[in-house]
Structure 1
């Protein structure tokens, strides 16, 4: 994945010189050019940026103002300050404001390029994964009480998002201009993602304050609505087969179980088997004739390595092994 580096300077000649000098690193990062802080902020709102390199003295919004805005609204994006008016006090203020590096002019473009490449590598120092379901992976982050920043890209429309974990707790999320809980729901509704893990998190304030399991379930519930919104933003149709498909229903059942009882709860599979549904229909009819009410849940104890729960409303069959906490599962699925 080629990463975007945003260069900000009111000196057009400097921007073009940096762009030309960085051309040899095009396999590592691409360059975006902004003439001042306002233009830079518009870039940050519209598309993903992995790193910002900015001059200090600029019209309208200067480098210090830009740095403060980035730290407040895009805290995962590192900022390198470059300036021709370097003083120890100015460097101290820049680093106190959140800059990761301070470069005095004149400088060698090659040295700055190496510094950029080194910082970009830190984005994925914890590894990368492709074509994964984010739900189960994120539960492992919670279980291991990991502190990290996770960058995700969904495959349908190419949207990108960021999740911030501190000691296994989801503190914040970001997708474009959307932040916090609403951004988390959108990310958790993505089906097929690539993700990169950075073993660090600059965010400390918790803007979400909700259990990860409840966020995952709600994200799955909202996935159809949010996908339609993404399609509208990108001027296209939602992916074929989106909507309340049988596979979506089965995925929702699996998520509900694993988010509440954990990934090691003894769940073997969630399937659709019409042979079982035929039996359910017969049992349900018998119950109605006897005025016992409608069948909502059935547990089949086979006495061997696998038992089954039948969910008539979802047309789902849940296969579990003997390790499964049966009472908790019955209570959960009977709600």
Structure 2
């Protein structure tokens, strides 16, 4: 049983990729280990603990998504996943920083278009590189069915903007050199936004840049995605100016393996998390999570961005 703990980072990443929630992923992994413990106590011989746990996490994830979809249909505003954050001051559990950082927010949002079983098959095959016999065992489907499900899921993801060969298995986490370049651009980007330097900011924004915000109806956020570089620049400059007037500051961090920042108040409490999608030397997308329900795993949550309760 003790040896099985080495699989926790993988299991967390599968569960997180399925749910987009750090808390739910932790619960699913815990339930999977509990099931393994009960099986051992019942005298069941588990020849392959890794396969047993992967199957358990996958099926728990499918069951969870089936009920979560009902809740997300009534979600206020845009839905973004809970951020996995790695920074010098908030390193978090190691399992949050390993395989999970290959799952960008943009990719996880695309996965929302899939059914629970499609998502499981696509994740195991595309992201984690499982062969079809393993995918079939984990999902309880036949190999032939899994091949059909994967092909269907790939088409649906491609329709949402994902290009073959551009998924997390191919582009993330980035190698150290590219990561350092992205972090330097992010630093310059945030400095320009904080300083109100619109021209410098526009030079770093892609022509088709998109800004996404998730406040969940509980914190300030854009009602829908914002496009066009100048509008995105205005939003960033105005937002950071307002936050700075409230005593907030930026702390560089890796968000789901991508450059970004934590926005914290004067007491160091997290107000929001910003992830930058950087490619070809420009920012292609900005994802900001300010919903307090999605920040609790990072520590104390600030109330400077909260909307008044109705």
TM-score, normalized by the shorter chain, greater than 0.5: no
Query: What is the TM-score of this pair, normalised by structure 2?
Result: 0.31
Question: Considering only CA atoms, is the larger Rg found in Structure 1 or Structure 2?
Answer: 1
Whose relative contact order is higher, 1 or 2, with alpha carbons under 8 Å and at least 6 apart?
Answer: 2
**Structure with a larger share of its residues in helix:** 2
Query: What is the TM-score of this pair, normalised by structure 1?
Result: 0.30
